[in-house]
Amino acid sequence: MVNVIGLGYIGLPTALMMASHGVEVVGTDYNEELVATLNAGKTTFKEEGLDELFADALKSGIKFSTDYQVCDTYIVSVPTPYDKLDKKIDPCYVVAACKTVLEVAPEGAVLVVESTVSPNTIDRFVRPLLTEAGRGDVRLVHAPERIIPGNMVYELLHN
């Protein structure tokens, strides 16, 4: 099972796309209102093809929750705001999400950071979390999303 953490512009379509292709997916966000909207069968933003993808994912059994799940794969797609002057990102959301994942992840889980981060962010801010938590068993992956806004659903499928 895959737990997608952060159901915004990137995380929600990622979760829906995997679910609609037969992967068991739970989408998690700490925004209770957002999760309630999704559980009420409504999408949270407009994007071409998103409503159809949402309907497919619901049929395939996708679930939405404010809880992090116990599962084998986590995809973290939380915000990485950046300072327009020095172009440095703020890793605090990624760090917080990864810390919570490490509290629940079973042995050997895969932790994918999908958020966009500057070079070296994983080594400086994320990998040390695994060491601090004594979680050398967790397999860390960085796979930043490359879609262009406005063409999200097509690009997720074809990139």
Ligand X SMILES: NC(=O)c1ccc[n+]([C@@H]2O[C@H](COP(=O)([O-])OP(=O)(O)OC[C@H]3O[C@@H](n4cnc5c(N)ncnc54)[C@H](O)[C@@H]3O)[C@@H](O)[C@H]2O)c1
Whole-number Å distance between alpha carbons of 77 and 30: 12
Which of 69/77 has CB closer to ligand X?
77
Which of 22/40 has CB closer to ligand X?
40
The two structure tokens encoding residue 89? 């990102």
The DSSP-derived string for 47-111 is: -TTHHHHHHHHHHTT-EEESSPP-SSEEEE-----B-TTT--B-THHHHHHHHHHHHHPPTT-EE
Q: Are 57 and 20 in contact (CB under 8 A)?
A: yes
Q: Which residue is nearest to ligand X (CB)?
A: 8
Which of 97/126 has CB closer to ligand X?
97
Dihedrals φ, ψ of 71, to 5°? -160, 180
Which of 47/72 has CB closer to ligand X?
47
Interface residues toward ligand X, by CB under 6 A? 5-11, 28-31, 34, 77-80, 93, 96-97, 115-116, 145, 147, 149
For the bound state, the minimum distance from the C-beta of residue 24 to ligand X, rounded and expressed in Å, comes to: 19
For the bound state, the minimum distance from the C-beta of residue 78 to ligand X, rounded and expressed in Å, comes to: 4
For the bound state, the minimum distance from the C-beta of residue 105 to ligand X, rounded and expressed in Å, comes to: 14
For the bound state, the minimum distance from the C-beta of residue 122 to ligand X, rounded and expressed in Å, comes to: 13
For the bound state, the minimum distance from the C-beta of residue 38 to ligand X, rounded and expressed in Å, comes to: 10
Which of 22/146 has CB closer to ligand X?
146
Cα separations in angstroms, 52 against 11, 152, 154 = 16, 13, 12
